[in-house]
């Protein structure tokens, strides 16, 4: 026993000194990349962990004070430390607007704009013609006027903020009439009744869950009414014996009572999605044309841009919202104006279907995905270990982001399973790689849907899958 202790002490003594480790060229290189004080403190941590591991557990200790081993541990640790916490991932789930994965990936033009405006001064609030101060909304207002046919528009942090600001500006202490079929909850605790309460507006529910008529709205309007609110049930559908008034009819009613008709259209769809088999998504310009006085929507859902909430409609109301002191608390960052402007430009030039990734992914046909998946399978199959089975399988991709709950987009999946390793273990290995790869899991199969994988990511996907499926 006493002898074991002596040997243990001897091993501890052999742990190299920090100064000695700093002389190793590999560690010197880390100092060049970062700083001496950073590397020293990380070495101290690594040595402390080594000491603890050598003192605990069995004898002889499992661990060893070898300088080369310490250097490689330090390298792994520093690599991890330097990895940004927000990083790109490969989305192989087939969920196009995956909220946990950041919703819409941006177009090339939007990326270029981000990079151009991020490192330099910009005309964010500066009128270059007049040489005077301007309003940042002017950067996007004319595009939105063009695309939506509205008089004015402003942008805030997200659509939840847009709904809140509209209510807080136009209906404090007054009633807002909403159909019982539209009292929605969006993921992340955004609920119409609660938002309404916080805004100081009073909810006046009308109709029933499945049917609400124009006369229900009409009967609820009184001296305390401030607005009629229509909400798109983005993430659910009520089927069967249902009814709700048309937007035109609601607009007529609102006009007769000189009330604003507000529509939260949710996904910010600017184009007709029928060609992708998607029906019932309100198109922003159609809502304006049908007579909505104000509409609001997200910019990072079907619109395919950065996170923002757009409020558009009649100038009279938009000016009131702009004058609300709270708007400052939801103000957008200059980068977002850049990315949003570039995204809107793709719609204006008629190139949205080619340039906006969300639209491109939505419009990929089953045949196109089948071709890509077959090619991918041909490339990966010969390199897979014997115990791994890979085949093509029909499946569905979904829109996600709380949009189009009924829509399944026909796709072709690459299904992988291993006789040696449970699927959930492989799924975890994929998730912890660099870049992380996120797949679908179904029973003992990993499902890869190439619809949401950028062609430029296929190589990383292939090598990541091979690594995770390997026997080591």
Contact residues toward ligand PLP (CB under 6 A) are: 158-160, 163, 184, 186, 190, 231-232, 234, 264, 266-267, 298, 309, 402
Between 78 and 156, name the residue whose CB sits nearer to ligand PLP. 156
Whose CA is closest to 181, among 218, 206, 216? 206
Q: Least Å distance between CB 155 and ligand PLP? A: 11
CA 445 to chain centroid: 26
Q: Least Å distance between CB 230 and ligand PLP? A: 10
CB-based closest residue to ligand PLP: 266
3-class state of residue 141 by DSSP:
helix
Between 208 and 235, name the residue whose CB sits nearer to ligand PLP. 235
Between 106 and 416, name the residue whose CB sits nearer to ligand PLP. 106
Q: Least Å distance between CB 196 and ligand PLP? A: 13
3-class state of residue 206 by DSSP:
strand
Which tokens sit at 146? Answer: 């063009």
Between 43 and 140, name the residue whose CB sits nearer to ligand PLP. 140
Under 8 Å between Cβ of 313 and 169: no
Give the integer Cα–Cα distance in Å for 321 and 324: 5
* CA quadruple 286, 290, 291, 296: dihedral, nearest 10: -30
Write the DSSP symbol of residue 269.
Answer: B
**How many CA atoms lie less than 13 Å away from 307 in the CB half-sphere?**
13
Q: Least Å distance between CB 158 and ligand PLP? A: 3
Under 8 Å between Cβ of 93 and 453: no
Between 16 and 313, name the residue whose CB sits nearer to ligand PLP. 313
Between 185 and 368, name the residue whose CB sits nearer to ligand PLP. 185
Q: Least Å distance between CB 166 and ligand PLP? A: 11
Quick one: three-class SS letters along 76-101?
HHHHHHHCCCCCCCEECCCEEECHHH
Q: Least Å distance between CB 233 and ligand PLP? A: 7
Which helix H or strand E contains 389, and what residues bound it? strand 388-400
Q: Least Å distance between CB 232 and ligand PLP? A: 5
3-class state of residue 54 by DSSP:
helix
Between 295 and 412, name the residue whose CB sits nearer to ligand PLP. 295
């Amino acid at each position: 026993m006493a002898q074991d202790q002596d040997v243990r002490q001897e091993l501890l003594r052999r742990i190299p000194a920090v100064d000695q480790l700093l002389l190793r060229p590999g560690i010197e290189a880390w100092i060049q990349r970062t700083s001496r004080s950073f590397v020293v403190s990380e070495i101290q941590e690594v040595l402390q962990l080594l000491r603890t591991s050598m003192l605990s557990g069995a004898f002889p200790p499992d661990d060893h004070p070898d300088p080369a081993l310490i250097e490689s541990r330090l390298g792994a640790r520093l690599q991890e430390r330097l990895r940004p916490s927000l990083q790109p991932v490969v989305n192989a789930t087939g969920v196009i607007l995956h909220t946990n994965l950041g919703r819409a990936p941006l177009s090339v033009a939007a990326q270029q704009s981000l990079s151009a405006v991020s490192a330099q001064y910009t005309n964010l609030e500066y009128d270059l013609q007049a040489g005077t101060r301007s309003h940042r909304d002017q950067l996007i207002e004319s595009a939105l006027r063009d695309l939506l046919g509205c008089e004015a528009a402003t942008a805030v942090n997200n659509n939840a903020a847009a709904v809140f600001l509209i209510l807080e500006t136009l209906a404090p202490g007054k009633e807002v009439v909403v159909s019982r079929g539209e009292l929605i909850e969006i993921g992340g605790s955004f609920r119409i009744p609660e938002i309404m309460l916080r805004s100081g507006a009073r909810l006046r529910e009308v109709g029933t869950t499945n049917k609400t008529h124009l006369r229900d709205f009409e009967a609820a309007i009184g001296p305390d009414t401030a607005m009629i609110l229509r909400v798109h049930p983005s993430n659910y559908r009520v089927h069967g014996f249902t009814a709700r008034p048309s937007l035109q009819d609601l607009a007529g009613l609102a006009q007769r009572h000189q009330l604003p008709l507000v529509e939260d259209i949710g996904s910010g769809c600017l184009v007709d999605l029928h060609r992708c088999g998607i029906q019932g998504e309100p198109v922003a310009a159609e809502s304006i044309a049908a007579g909505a006085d104000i509409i609001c929507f997200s910019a990072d859902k079907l619109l395919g841009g950065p996170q923002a909430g757009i409020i558009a409609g009649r100038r009279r109301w938009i000016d009131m919202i702009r004058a609300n002191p709270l708007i400052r608390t939801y103000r957008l960052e200059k980068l977002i104006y850049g990315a949003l402007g570039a995204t809107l430009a793709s719609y204006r030039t008629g190139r949205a279907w080619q340039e906006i990734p969300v639209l491109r992914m939505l419009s990929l046909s089953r045949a196109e995905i089948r071709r890509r998946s077959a090619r991918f399978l041909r490339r990966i199959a010969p390199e897979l270990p014997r115990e791994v089975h890979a085949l093509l399988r029909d499946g569905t991709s979904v829109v996600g982001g709380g949009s189009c709950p009924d829509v399944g987009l026909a796709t072709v999946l690459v299904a992988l399973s291993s006789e040696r390793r449970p699927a959930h273990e492989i799924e975890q290995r994929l998730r912890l790689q660099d870049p992380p790869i996120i797949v679908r899991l179904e029973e003992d199969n990993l499902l890869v849907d190439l619809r949401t994988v950028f062609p430029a990511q296929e190589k990383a996907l292939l090598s990541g899958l091979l690594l995770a499926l390997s026997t080591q």
